[in-house]
Structure formats: structure tokens, C-alpha cells
Structure 1
């Protein structure tokens, strides 16, 4: 039996939103958290990156388990452990404990990739792109919606409250997943060591994977540059916004990302490669607007919408291509692919704060635009090499 219901898609989208929110909710309240935890300004970028490093470790060590055990049980268990990490952050007495809690939450937030692999496995072939797009929209909702929630709570009851809320939500979702989703039975399973070995071989030999991984590395380095550093110029003169106002800028990104919801349908129609090219060009161009923060913020808002539209369109297209090319090991493929995402996001977080504190917002924007251009170059090189398995893309095979 293949197929997934609308209600199940919604549950999995919320799972993705809640898990990924624990990784990104610290960003709009970074200065407030750092001050309370006794951290110096130059250390804030590392606090923002702590969850990304945990996420990277989880992608390498945990996601391959999705090719070994039932993904429904894995999603439920990981959600409980994400809640443990979020609770640790909420109660942290100092920066070291807070960073450890963020790393734990990030380590198990790879439940997102297990959920995407589950969707790819149970979807009918002609609906895979649409279903992946619907579920991964939860990732963007979590990344950007967490900013709105964290900003509002940061100005009212304190930055710690958002992590308490997320911890409780993850526990509730673990119960919903366990009771509301069916197992994903497979004709055969692999051993954990085999799954890890398959990931290593993929990185070493698969040209499509390497191209998409490199594009994703630069894509999310550009994305992380914006969202890790945006609170700094908005909190400074002449705007001097509080965390609530800063968090509301996440709504602009949310609008852009949801506008790319059709990317999955376009990918189902065999257009994933051209979508990637023009979206990366749009990403680079968006930084021209993002760099303008005076005398009005409307260009910045427009740039945020364009940036998040481009990021989501490329992200969905990449996952569609890779799960179609490797239908029998979706978890390992997505885990390895998302390792590039995590490292790119961490790089963006560190370099964004460094560029801003050293030279200002213009330098941050130059860094973000440079990452976008490098992603476009990587895509163009792959297009010229003709390494894309277009017949697979146009006529996807069924999963399991």
C-alpha cells in the first residue's frame, strides 16, 4: 500500500516545524540570551552554531538508522530526545550548558530527515514531489515561525520560554506520531554499518549527489548568513528594534518560502534542474535588496521574501531528485545530503556575525551574496557536465 493522507502530511509537517525550531529559535534572541548567560559578543556566533554542529553529527550517525529500523518508531523516539535538549536550554545556568542543550536538540532534530524519508517511502510515485514539498514546508515554517514566537516571548516572559514551549510540543507530537502513522514496512532492511558505508560511498562516487550537496552547502550558507545576523542591524541604530519586532521579519521569509510550495509539483514534472538554476540566480539578486536597511526597510522585506522563496525551491527540488535516484535508501541519502545543509548553515552563522562585527551589514550581505554565486557556479558546472540522470527525474520509480 502506498499513499499518505492529508492529516498525516500535516502531522509530519508540524513535526518538522517543531524539531527544526529548536535549532533556530535562539537567533532572534541571541543578544538577550548571551547577556543573561554571561557570553561575550564575539561568542554569540558560536552559540547560534552549536545546534548546527549537533545537527551535523546527527545526520551522520542517526539518520542512517532510518534504513535499519521502522521510521515511525524512530520519529517518535527522536522527538522525545529533542524535547530533552530544548528543556536543557530553557533551564541552562550558563552558556556552556545552553550550548550543550542546543547541540543535543540539534543532534536529534534530524528527525526532520527521517520524516522526509518516511514520506518518500510511503508516497505514490506521482505524488512524491508534492508530498515532500508539503512536509518540508514545515521545516521553513519552523525556521521562520520560531523567530516570530521567540521574538514575542523574548519581549514578554523571556527567551527561555520558547524552549519550554517547544519541549512540550515535541512530547505531544511524539504521541501523535506513534498513534497516527502506520509503519513503513520494507521488503528488506540493511545493517547499521552497511547504511553508514553506503553514505560514505555516495559521497565518494555519486556525481549527482556531490553536485546537489555542494549547491546545498552554499545555499544554506547564504540562508544562514541572513538569519543568523539579521537581529544585529535591526537591534542597532537607527531602528533599535526589540525581539518582537525582529521576530516579525520571519513572516516575510515565511511568505516567500510558502510561495515556493509548487516547487514539488514542478519537480514531479521533470523541471527540478531549471528550477534550481533560476532560483539560485534569484537568491544572489535578493542580497541587493537585503543590503538596503535605510531610509526604509521595505527593500529588506522584499529581499527576504525572494531569498526564502529561492531557498525552498532549490531545497525541495534537490530532495526530489535524490530520493528518486535512490529510492531504496532514502534515509541515508537525505542524511548525507543534509550534512551539507548543516555545515553550510553553521558557516553562515559564524561568518555573518564575524562580518557584521568587523565591517558592518554591507560586509555581511557581500558574504551572503558570494555564497549564492558559488552555489550557482556549482549548479552550472554540473549542468555542463551532463551528470544528471534526467530519465529517472522525468519518470520516477516507486519507493519500496
Structure 2
């Protein structure tokens, strides 16, 4: 392993957050990937339009290169990683496994419950009772793979988890970290429950030492009202996973009072279960949360300082460097700028043609797309450089 010293201060924290955000990044969104491929195909078609001499191999390689460059511009993936995936080397580059969680659903449930307790809810339910449907959430996700359909009901999975050790005392973070939902098989459920009950004390002790279970017992949900009660069970994972929380970012608590309230609500929801104290493991994770939030805040500060130092920072916001969390679908074709070099066009011919069009206003042709604009800008830049060079010699 190559270990390098990155220094200290805000820049080091920003780099730490960038690396953490990179290895836990979400999958490329479908519409973004499709638009990137479409942009690559449009550029490929324009380049080989009317070209009868290019072989099919050249065309296919050019299209593959353009598609890879277009998607890499959105994912920040290196050529080495792409080539490793194409030759069967895989695309997994971390020592941990990550699991995406719809954490915003749990936050919404808590907020609705608080409104109901305060009397600000118009559900019509009796005082002290939960609003109908609020405790179960309002959304679910479905994933299709290998001719199967898997439904994700995370609020239901936790609120209706088994009421026996070690499941009954799990906080929300531990549940995501250690639990796995699997399909029911032909095995007898009562036998599995009996086996678990006999060795309950041993299983509880093993859970505190190591996440691996030799018997891999499976337990049904506690409530038959669960939508997957008859088709799925819960079991312990052989290896702990790292939850990735989706939703609004948890704020740094030291800035304002309402940030502190949001941070405390999130930590209690994740780690406290039914008590208001945290164990040693939960306290360590919360400390890591604080470090991550400080690094994210430093990232924002570094971006702002960099934008202020740029020549155009005070004049135009269009050219300001975007934050890593920002996203703009309209900038997809910027990934194809380097593809102009792959096309091996005659730059001199392009420059002379464009300069002639600029000199002769009657024959001027408006650019049709982004590639034409890029070519025109390059031509103008070349003309400016030659003009400066000639003035130097004349002087």
C-alpha cells in the first residue's frame, strides 16, 4: 500500500471527504447514463457520416471510446478502472460492502409522529395513537434482477422485525448493518425457530463477538400484516455492511440551534432504540459522523475560496467551479471535448474555413450544436495566438 501524507487543515479535510464520497458514490442514474450514451452516438454519427473508407472495426472502437468518455465524465472513473471492468476484472475497489438506505422515510415518519403528538395533525386519530399509515411510510422501491422482483420496505422491515434476541434490541443502524432479508424456502419455519430458541443464549453471545453465524437461522417478521410476511424472512449477515443514508444531509451541529436539533434527532433515530444513552460502539460511530460533517463543511469552504481566487469568480457565476455534490445534465457533452482529438480532424483547415467565414459576413454560418461552438472557439483561439505572435515579431 502506498501511504502519503496529505497535511492538515481545511484542505486535508476536504480531500478526506472527497475520497469518502468517491468510494461510497451511488450508481449512475439511468437517465444520465442514457443521455451520455446518446451524446456519444450523436458525435459518432456526425464524424463518420459519408465516410465509406472507415472499416467497421474503426467505427466500433470510436463509438466505444466516445461512450466510455461520456460516462466517465459523470462518474469520475479512471481509464484503468474501465478497462479492468471490460476485461472481466470487476468494478469493486473497496474493502467494505455498502448498502443504500432510504433514511429520509424514517425522518418523515418521526416528523409526522411529532406533529400528531403536538396536535398539529388533522388525521382525526385519537390522542396518543399514531396516524394511520404514518408508521409504515408512504413509498417502497423495487429492484429487478435474475428474473426476480425484490421489494424494499425499509420502515416496515424495522418496525415489524422479530421480537427475540438478538433482533429485539437492535437499533436502526445495527439492523441495517447486520440484517439481511431473504426469500422463504421449503424448510420448516417452526424448526428454525425452535433451533434458535434452544441456542438463544449462545446466539446472543456470538452476536456480540462476530457477525458470522454457522446455522444461518431465518426468522419471520413479527407482524403478519407485513407485505412480505409469507414470502421473506430475516437472517443475520455473514459480514457486516456499511449503510449509506439517502436524504437531506445531516447538518453539522455546531453552527445553529436548529442544526443541533436535526443532528440529535438523526443520532437518536439511528442509535438509541428505546433508551437515551449510547454504547461504546455507537459513540464511536457518532464521532465518525462528526468528523465526516467537519470534512464536508471544509470541502464547501475550500470550493468557495477557490472560486473567489479565480479571475472570473467575481464577474460571472456561469464559470464558477461546481461543488462535488452539484449536477447538471446539460454539461454532459463536455465529456466529448477530448473526442475531437480522436476524430483527427484537420485543425488548420477548420481554422482557415472559420476565419474566412468570420471575415466574410455574407457567408457566415451559425453553429448547429455544441461541437460546432467548440470548433469555432478553438479556431478563434488559434487566430488570436497567431495574431499575438505576429505582433511580437513586428515589434
**If the length of structure 1 is used for normalisation, what is the TM-score?**
0.21
Please identify the structure whose Cα radius of gyration is greater.
2
Question: Which TM-score applies when normalising by structure 2?
Answer: 0.21
Greater RCO (CA < 8 Å, at least 6 residues apart): 1
More strand by share: 2
Q: Going by fraction, where is helix more abundant, 1 or 2?
A: 1
